[in-house]
Structure 1
Amino acid sequence: MVASQVHLVRHGEVFNPDGILYGRMSGFGLSKLGHRMAQAAADDLVERDRAISAIAASPLQRTRESAKPIALAFGLPIAIDDRIIEPTNHFEGTVMKRALRKPRNWPYIVNPVRPSWGEPYASIVLRMRAAIDAAFLSVESGDVVLVSHQLPIWVTHLALAGERFPHDPRKRRCSLSSITTIEQRQGDDGDPTLVEVGYVEPARVLQAAATDVGAV
């Protein structure tokens, strides 16, 4: 037996008053609003009346804090999975608009296909797929929750939809504390394949007051 569904949950709003591209930097936890968003995601999963058998988060503070209300709701420990962490990015620790004005940074934006400023999209997808495949096999029944970040969740969606990876970051359909749900089904060749079956935004009513500028 394997898990029925894997839910990819994005973290809530981060306390980031300076508008820094925080990436993998330490010290960036949820804001007060972010904690409310994380609770909204937990409430949504509870309202589905589905058995949640395991939960894992990326090692960063914002995902661990976002996983906490889900873990409390289902009485589960939070495992840490390095494979679902935020990608590396050359502009980490900067304010993006200012960094782009500096000529020394221009070589890092010449190739949006790879992309040249950070971890290749294909690499992100490989590690996310490995984490999702492992999540399906990690329990005998029920669902598994993986609390991750915008770009890893978004490129996973693109991969499952058969779409190209290069994209406008402003147009990602992966809002704060959103939940993307995946099932494992039998493909035409008889092997298991991953299928996206749902996307919801439990914290939609809180989005208008949120700031979301630190994701890579």
Structure 2
Amino acid sequence: MALATVHLVRHGEVHNPDRVLYGRLPGYHLSELGYEMAERIGAHFGARAAAGASIVSLAASPLLRAQETARPTAAALGLETGVEHRIVEAGNHFEGMSHVAARLREPKLWPLLVNPFKPSWGEPYSEQVERVMEAVDEHRARAVELGGDGAEAILVAHQLPIWVTRLAAENRPLWHDPRRRECSLASITSLDFDGERLVAVRYSEPCADLLARAANLPGA
């Protein structure tokens, strides 16, 4: 059975001075710091490839911030960035609102909060896991086809879909406190496979030293 790894990369910081929960809204591009994070991620994977890693596939969510984050990695690896719709940000009924935490005091929004386990305010966690893992499996198989044993693929996505996919991979409940997600900006959640079997989950933060300067909203 061929070994393979799929890296789930969260995008860099977004230019969002009004602190809008932007979700799937178009036009939200990286901030200056976000571009710095994207360059750091590109250098990280470029160094891995130079050291012998067989990174053969790169795709990103269709949203602008993910596509922009992927560009330096594409340049470093000499790969084209595919568009992978299954790893897009989660749907959320609060999309477009600013300062969401403060607005949750408004009674008209309370019906959206009745079931945090699903959650009732957006796309069910289980559906996010299903679509992301479908993409992961396809890109894993494609990486092995292109690069053989030990091949790696990169998918640039968003915090919530990455996090709930990790929770599922580790057999943990999908319900969680958004403030406790271990999925920082420009972080890498790596899924290691032996054939079709997931054997390990790893997490790293190549941009850890940049996070103190970032406006890191919990997201969807």
Give the structure-2-normalised TM-score: 0.92
Out of 179, 183, 187, the residue aligned to residue 170 of structure 1 is 179
Task: Describe the superposition over 1:10-65 as per-residue Cα deviations: whole angstroms up to 9, x where unpaired.
Answer: 00000000000000001100000001111111222222231211100000000000
Q: 1:8 maps to which residue?
A: 8
Ranges in structure 1 where 5+ consecutive residues have no aligned partner: 187-191
Structure 2 counterpart of 1:147, which letter?
V
Is the alpha carbon distance of 1:56 and 1:2 closer, same or farther for their aligned partners in structure 2, counting shifts above 3 Å? farther
Q: For residue 74 of structure 1, report the CA deviation from its aligned partner.
A: 0.5
Q: 1:158 aligns with which of 144, 164, 167?
A: 167
Q: Let me know the Cα RMSD of the aligned residues.
A: 1.4
What is the percentage of aligned positions where both structures have the same residue?
Answer: 47
Residue equivalent to 1:83: 86
Of residues 108, 116, 119 in structure 2, which corresponds to 1:115? 119
- How big is the shift at 1:147? 0.2
* Distance change in 2, residues 1:3/1:12 (3 Å): farther
Q: In structure 2, list runs of 5 or more residues that go unmatched.
A: none
**SS where residue 28 of structure 2 aligns?**
coil
1:138 corresponds to: 142
Equivalent residue, structure 2, for 1:181: 190
Letter in 2 for 1:61: L
Counterpart residue number, 2:60: 57
Task: Verify the 8 A CA contact 2:10 2:158 in the aligned structure 1.
Answer: yes
* Contact residue 20 and residue 214 of structure 1 kept, 8 A: no
CA change 1:73–1:59 in 2 (3 A) is: same
- Offset of residue 185 of structure 1: 2.1
Contact 2:178/2:218 (8 A) holds in 1: no
Tell me the equivalent position of 1:189: none
* Separation in 2, partners of 1:84, 1:65: 15
Q: Is the 8 A contact 1:84 1:128 kept in 2?
A: yes
Partner residue of 2:208?
Answer: 204
SS of 1:207 mapped into structure 2:
helix
C-alpha displacement of 1:7 = 0.6
- For structure 1, which segment, 159-168 or 206-215, has the greater mean C-alpha deviation from structure 2 after superposition? 206-215
Residue type at the aligned position of 1:122:
S
SS of the residue 1:54 aligns to: strand
C-alpha distance in structure 1 between counterparts of 2:42 and 2:173, whole Å = 31
Q: Distance in 2 between matches of 1:163 and 1:202?
A: 25
Q: Distance in 1 between matches of 2:200 and 2:139?
A: 15
